[in-house]
A and B are shown apart, each in its own frame.
Chain A
Amino acid sequence: MTAVTNFIARKSGYNINLVGLCSATVILFWAIVALIAPMITPYPVGEIVDWDYFGPSSSAFWLGSDYLGRDVLSRILMGARFTVGISLGAVTLACFIGVTLGMLAAVIGGLFDQVLSRFLDAFNSIPSKLFGLVVVAAVGSSVPVLILTLTAIYAPGSYRFARALAVNINTMDFVTVARARGEGTLYLIKEEILPNIIGPVLADFGLRFVFIVLLLSGLSFLGLGVLPPNADWGALVKENISGLPFAAPAVIYPSFAIASLTISVNMMIDNLPKKIRDRED
């Protein structure tokens, strides 16, 4: 494996360590699965294909069968679409809104900044799972509702993070110079602030993605997220929870899928590739 990391280092100029490489591979794997899921599922997702329910792993059903006798592997592959897709959509929206507002607040300052900060801070102190539950109780659950709810829950945190970074950059001389040149707010946040905070913002993007995957799985596990006949990984655990007392693979593997994704993203953030020329040795 060190040969591979050395090769990457020589070719790209980025130095990545083994843990970072492994976690990047896992993330890439799930991204590809989410894209091409319908082409690689060995069985139709909703169809009962096994006579047995909670069947064990076998050569016909690699990860066993679920509580109705459906193929678990196919359902996990399709579930990747919902888990990765919804989370990615929500985190992109949340970070886009949060970071844009955060930079605007830092650049504009004054009353705009104060009112927005106070309001979003108050919003931020509503526990996330609870907010999800209340919204689902009120409007029911569907994919767009889930994406918007998750966005609303995680945008304030992203705002706070981006604003704290942007406030520091905003006091730099080059921003003052740009302002003296007469550049507009849009130019300031796009050309002066954003390039200087993009690193931490991307790391925050990853962390927030993990939070969203966890919350989405939690909601689905409570039966309030992705609804049948569709299922994300949390919903898969929920449907098959009755197999838990005899350790059915159908309840174990979807959990492993979630864990593999979230742990990989966390590890990836801790082991981000460094540019070789930045290193001293």
Chain B
Amino acid sequence: MNTIILRLIAERLGVMLVTLVIVSFTVFAATQLLPGDVAQILLGQAATPEAVAGLREAMGLNEPAIPRYFNWLIGLTQGDFGLSYVTREPIADLIAGRLQNTLRLAAITTLISVPLALSLGILAALYQGTKFDRVVSTATVMIISVPEFMVATLAVLIFAVYLKWLPALSYANEVTSLWQLLKTFAMPVITLTFVIAAQMIRMSRAAVIETLNTPYCEMALLKGASRRRTVLIHALPNALGPIANAVALSLSYLLGGVIIVETIFNYPGIAKLMVDAVATRDLPLVQSCAMIFCFGYLMLIMLADIISILSNPRLRT
């Protein structure tokens, strides 16, 4: 660790903080665009003007937007997300359990998809141009070019409708055995793995192939090293940085995937909570979920940045 690296990392952290503030401002501003009065919408058409005025007062809506933004931001940093418009419960309580479920789903998907994707990506680079490489590359392009819900519906068609191995769209609430646990997670995890792995395979294949095009790899080839030796011994160690970067970036695709997957499989995670909150226009809940997601996303992007900084040998003096 030297000062250049530390400075670069500190710079990334600073950029992330600034971005987070801009994101929070955008999220807050977007929710202020709501045409009409929030209190009026909550109480419905039949509400008396006195009731609306009272609710406005109680919700602090009479204050100007800027102080409300800062109050909200300060609350966020202290873990106080406010109250849901719809259920009147503290949002922190609503989110806690759901967040755990989503993290569990993400963790299982990561554990399965990372080894799978890396081995396929490196193998495809090793056998570049062969039939195996072409099959893998075409399949990944196909998966990347279709929406996540199509991957999910195809997975249901294959595993639930034709093969009948798994239940289609149900989520079992009481999990009593390991088998049931597997069944519950199987479909969401399979779908997410496809979406994430496709990205990761493409990026890791590209990273290895790019390293193979460097002069020292050509040198290894010229002195008679086999393709396998060139890839595994010469190219791979230097491609590790870009590959780790690719893994972190691909994991940020979990976010888009998880929104669709939790909705389609009725999985009680935080993304489903957010989609439902959008449908009921529960703005504080939407804001909180959006901030949590953005935070996770920015963390992964920053992790990818830091990995690529650390893996750059030119900075290691």
Residue from B34, B145, B150, B298 in contact with A125 in the complex, judged by beta carbons closer than 8 Å: B298
Tell me the nearest residue of chain A to B298, going by C-beta: A125
Contact residues in B for A262 (Cβ distance below 8 Å): 145-146
CA A217 – CA B18 in complex, angstroms?
31
Residue from B147, B161, B278, B298 in contact with A218 in the complex, judged by beta carbons closer than 8 Å: B147
Tell me the nearest residue of chain A to B293, going by C-beta: A130
> Is B133 an interface residue when CB atoms closer than 8 A count as contact?
no
Check if A237 sits within 8 Å of B26, measured CB to CB: no
> Is B48 an interface residue when CB atoms closer than 8 A count as contact?
no
> Is A122 an interface residue when CB atoms closer than 8 A count as contact?
yes
Which residues of A (110-149) have their CB < 8 Å from a CB of B? 119, 121-123, 125-131, 133-140
Which residues of A (202-220) have their CB < 8 Å from a CB of B? 210, 214, 217-218
**Stretch of B120-128, B236-244, B256-264 at the chain-chain interface:** B256-264
Check if A139 sits within 8 Å of B33, measured CB to CB: yes
Contact residues in A for B263 (Cβ distance below 8 Å): 221-222
> Is A241 an interface residue when CB atoms closer than 8 A count as contact?
yes
Contact residues in B for A218 (Cβ distance below 8 Å): 147-149, 256, 259-260
Residue from B19, B145, B156, B259 in contact with A244 in the complex, judged by beta carbons closer than 8 Å: B156
Check if B286 sits within 8 Å of A128, measured CB to CB: no
Check if B145 sits within 8 Å of A234, measured CB to CB: no
Check if B147 sits within 8 Å of A122, measured CB to CB: no
Contact residues in B for A139 (Cβ distance below 8 Å): 30, 33-35
Check if A126 sits within 8 Å of B260, measured CB to CB: no
Tell me the nearest residue of chain A to B168, going by C-beta: A245
Check if B297 sits within 8 Å of A255, measured CB to CB: no
> Is B160 an interface residue when CB atoms closer than 8 A count as contact?
yes
Which residues of B (266-285) have their CB < 8 Å from a CB of A? 274-275, 277-279, 281, 283
Q: How many A-B residue pairs have CB under 8 A?
A: 139
Check if A214 sits within 8 Å of B147, measured CB to CB: yes
Tell me the nearest residue of chain B to A126, going by C-beta: B23
Interface of B is mostly: helix
> Is A247 an interface residue when CB atoms closer than 8 A count as contact?
yes
Contact residues in B for A251 (Cβ distance below 8 Å): 153
Check if B147 sits within 8 Å of A217, measured CB to CB: yes
Tell me the nearest residue of chain A to B285, going by C-beta: A137
> Is B142 an interface residue when CB atoms closer than 8 A count as contact?
yes
CA A246 – CA B156 in complex, angstroms?
10
Check if A134 sits within 8 Å of B259, measured CB to CB: no
Check if A123 sits within 8 Å of B147, measured CB to CB: no
Interface residues on B, range: 35 or more
Tell me the nearest residue of chain B to A262, going by C-beta: B145
CA A234 – CA B260 in complex, angstroms?
12
> Is A266 an interface residue when CB atoms closer than 8 A count as contact?
yes
Residue from B145, B161, B279 in contact with A259 in the complex, judged by beta carbons closer than 8 Å: B145
Residues 74-98 of chain B, each 1 if its beta carbon lies under 8 Å from chain A, else 0: 0000000000000000000000000
> Is A85 an interface residue when CB atoms closer than 8 A count as contact?
no
Residues 134-173 of chain A, each 1 if its beta carbon lies under 8 Å from chain B, else 0: 1111111000000000000000000000000000000000
> Is A90 an interface residue when CB atoms closer than 8 A count as contact?
no
Check if A252 sits within 8 Å of B157, measured CB to CB: yes
Check if A258 sits within 8 Å of B150, measured CB to CB: yes
A232 CB to closest chain B CB (Å) equals 12
> Is B31 an interface residue when CB atoms closer than 8 A count as contact?
yes
Tell me the nearest residue of chain A to B257, going by C-beta: A129
Contact residues in B for A123 (Cβ distance below 8 Å): 22, 26
CA A238 – CA B178 in complex, angstroms?
32
Check if A241 sits within 8 Å of B157, measured CB to CB: no
Contact residues in B for A245 (Cβ distance below 8 Å): 156, 160-161, 168-169
Check if A133 sits within 8 Å of B147, measured CB to CB: no
16 further A-B contacts with Cβ under 8 Å, apart from A137-B31, A138-B30, are A119-B22, A122-B19, A133-B259, A133-B274, A133-B286, A134-B287, A137-B278, A214-B145, A221-B149, A221-B263, A222-B275, A224-B279, A244-B161, A244-B169, A245-B160, A266-B141
Give the B-binding residues of A (Cβ under 8 A): 119, 121-123, 125-131, 133-140, 210, 214, 217-218, 221-224, 234, 237, 241, 244-247, 251-252, 255, 258-259, 262-263, 265-266
Contacts A/B (CB < 8 Å), 19 sampled: A127-B297, A128-B256, A137-B286, A138-B30, A138-B283, A217-B147, A218-B147, A221-B147, A222-B263, A224-B279, A244-B169, A245-B161, A245-B169, A247-B161, A255-B147, A255-B150, A255-B153, A259-B145, A266-B144
The 8 tightest CB contacts between A and B, nearest first, are A137-B278, A262-B145, A255-B150, A122-B22, A245-B168, A137-B286, A259-B146, A122-B19
